[in-house]
């Protein structure tokens, strides 16, 4: 396995060494795989609940509003469809990082059980994808918040 190492002069120098996975590393990886398995299963359950909620939102709101005297008997036009689309969007959005976490867990366990380097490499590629997804998502959210802040600042300057 060839690894590049930063040398003091600023260049990269290839190192020729094999990475050894110690017993302590194996224990840490196995414990991490167990926790990521648990978190991914819980994630899939919540995604399922979001999908169920997306398709039952209108009926739930209708039955809740029927219990309040004087309340309208139906929710305003289109809000049920908007909420369904909203919940489905977030279910799809959360599906991919949850899948990456599950794949990391499964491949890490298989790699440690059978000593397969390819499974461990794939597991770490899934972990990279998990963090890359959330990193890009965070950047998008920060840009969105920044635009809201700029819009609020510009809009409030015209109110005075």
* pLDDT tens readout for residues 41-54: 999 999 999 999 98
Residue 71 pLDDT class (50, 70, 90 cuts): low
* 37, pLDDT greater than 80: yes
Query: In angstroms, what CA-CA distances link 138 with 44, 47, 78, 142?
Result: 21, 20, 30, 6
C-alpha dihedral (60, 63, 65, 68), degrees to nearest 10: -140
Confidence (pTM) = 0.75
- DSSP for 105-135, written as a single string: HHHHHHHHHHT-HHHHHHHHHHHHHHHHHHH
| pLDDT of the residue at 11 | 61
Distance CA 110, CA 124 (A): 13
């Amino acid at each position: 396995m060839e690894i590049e190492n930063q040398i003091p002069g600023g260049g990269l120098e290839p190192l020729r060494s094999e990475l050894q996975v110690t017993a302590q590393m194996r224990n840490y990886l196995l414990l991490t795989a167990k926790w990521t398995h648990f978190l991914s299963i819980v994630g899939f359950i919540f995604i399922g609940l979001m999908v169920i909620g997306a398709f039952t939102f209108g009926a739930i709101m209708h039955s809740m509003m029927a219990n309040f005297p004087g309340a309208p008997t139906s929710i305003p036009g289109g809000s049920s469809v908007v909420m369904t689309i909203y919940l489905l969007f977030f279910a799809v959005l959360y599906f991919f990082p949850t899948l990456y976490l599950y794949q990391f867990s499964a491949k890490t366990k298989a790699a440690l059980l059978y000593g397969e380097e390819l499974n461990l490499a794939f597991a770490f590629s899934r972990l990279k994808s998990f963090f890359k997804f959330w990193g890009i998502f965070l950047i998008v959210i920060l840009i969105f918040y920044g635009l809201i802040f700029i819009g609020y600042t510009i809009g409030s300057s015209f109110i005075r």
